[in-house]
Structures are given as C-alpha cells and as structure tokens.
Chain A
C-alpha cells in the first residue's frame, strides 16, 4: 500500500478486518476449549457461589501454556480470552500505525497515550 494514498477508508477497512479476525479466532479457541471442558467436567456440580479466584493453571502464562499442551479445556478457553482482550488493544496499535501513515502526528500521539494507559493498567493490576 502506498503510504501517500493511505486514507481513513483504508484505516476503517483494516480496523474492521482486525476486529473480525481477532473475535473469530479467539471465539473459536474459546469454543474448542469449552467443548473439551464440558466433555471432561460436564457432570460435576457448578460452584461459583463464593469467590476463590481461578485455578493456578489458568492464572499465569506458564500454567496456561502447559494446560494447552496437555489439552486442558479451561487453559485453552483462558488463552482464547486473553486473545479476545488483546483484540481491541491490537486494533489501537494498528490505528497508531495508520495515523503515522496518514502523517497525522496529533492522533499518533493520542493513540500512543491510550496504549500507555492500558499498559499502566496491566502493571498496576499485577502489583495489586
């Protein structure tokens, strides 16, 4: 794509495409994980009455990764959820690139500020 002719319409098409792919992919992963989870745990009682957090194997990247390899349904679902949460953030990253290509530096700055806030939120959640 020629940067000189990069326009808002192109940006709209790319953003729409990213959102669609991100949602489609993450929901497929969540669905596959869900089928495995229901197959293996469908018969046990569902208990969400008291807050106990989530099991360790879906709480950190290492656990989720190991869980995916051993085909644990909830680990696969959680990976899909992480990808789903990342989808709008990836959209923001591509918006920033789009604004650079449009030579709109004001909006490049605004977009980077939004990314910075999300990043700060991620770090503060880790600390809390």
Chain B
C-alpha cells in the first residue's frame, strides 16, 4: 500500500500531536500525583483499605514512615451541642 505525501505529513503531524498529548498527560499526572502527595503529607490521616482483601502480604501500600496519627490544628469539627439533644453516639470511657 502506498501513502500519499500529504497523508504522510498528516500522519507525522498527528503523531507529533499525540506524542505531545501523551507527554502532557504524563506531566499532568506527575503534577497531580505530586500535588496529592503534598496534600496528603500536609494533612495526614489514617490509611483506608478494602475490607474485602484478606490476602496475606503483598500490600501495595508504601512502607513510608509518615505517621498516620499526626494532627492538624483543625478543631472546627467539634462544637458544643444542645445538652437536651438526644445523642446519636457516645464517646464513653474504654
């Protein structure tokens, strides 16, 4: 099969565009991962794993040493309640 020169130019241009798009996607992905990683480091929280996975070993999670018990200074999640209000739950001594 022969290819018309203009078709080859179009194909090369499309390849260049596609390559650029892939590179851009990779760069964007890296940026997003970096941003997410930065955000996670700034406000650590407990890890969450699927309850359906009971297989031994081979965890895909990183073995980093960052503490998931670190605190943020955000206490706005707690406020005074109406003392006559029926509680939904209890934080009782244990």
Q: Do chains A and B interact in one complex?
A: no
Chain B residues with a Cβ under 8 A of chain A: none
Chain A residues with a Cβ under 8 A of chain B: none
